[in-house]
Amino acid sequence: MISTLTEMQDAAELEYVLQQTIPASKTLELTVVSLASGRIRLEAPVAPSNVNIHGTAFAGSIYSISSLAAWGLIFYSLQEAMIIADLVISEATIRYRHPIVDRIIAEASITEDKHDRFIADLEKNGKARLVVEVKISDEAGHQATNTLTLFASNKTQ
C-alpha cells in the first residue's frame, strides 16, 4: 500500500493522467492504489463495468487494466527521470489461468538495473524497449499474466 504522502500524490496524479489521456480508464473504474519507483498496483471492480456474461471479469478489461499498469509504471519512470518521450505498447501476450471473480488487481514491477538500462538506452539512442510482466489477480488469488513490450522514443530526437 501507499507508504508516503509523495507516493499518494504520485498515484493520484497518474490516475488523473490516465483518466484524461486514456478515457477508457474511467469506464474501467480504474484506481491507482500504489505507485513508487519500480512498482505499481492498479485495481478495478469486476461489476458493474468489467463483468462478462458469466459473472466474472471480462477478458478485455483484464487485458486493458494490465496494459495500463505496465504503461503507467514506465510513464511514471520516465517522469521521474525527467524524460519527455512517446511511450507505446508494441507487443503483449496475456495468459488467463482462471476466471477473476471479484476485484481485478494488476501489479507490475521492474528492477532498478532493468530501469537504469532502459533509461540509458533511451538517452543514448533516442529510443528503447522494455519488457514488463504484469501479474493480475483477484482477492481469491486467481491469476493471469500479461507480458508486454513497451517502446519509448525521445521527443527531442
- Hey, what domains does the chain have and what are their CATH numbers? 11-154 (3.10.129.10)
What's the pLDDT tens digit per position in 14-27?
999 999 999 999 99
pLDDT band, very low/low/confident/very high, at 140 (cuts 50, 70, 90):
confident
Express each pLDDT in 111-121 by its tens digit.
Answer: 999 999 999 99
pLDDT at 142: 81
pLDDT digits (tens, 9 = 90+) for 3-56: 555 667 889 999 999 999 999 999 999 999 999 989 999 999 999 999 999 999
Output the average pLDDT for the chain.
93
Phi, psi of 84 (to 5 degrees): -95, 115
pTM over 0.85: yes
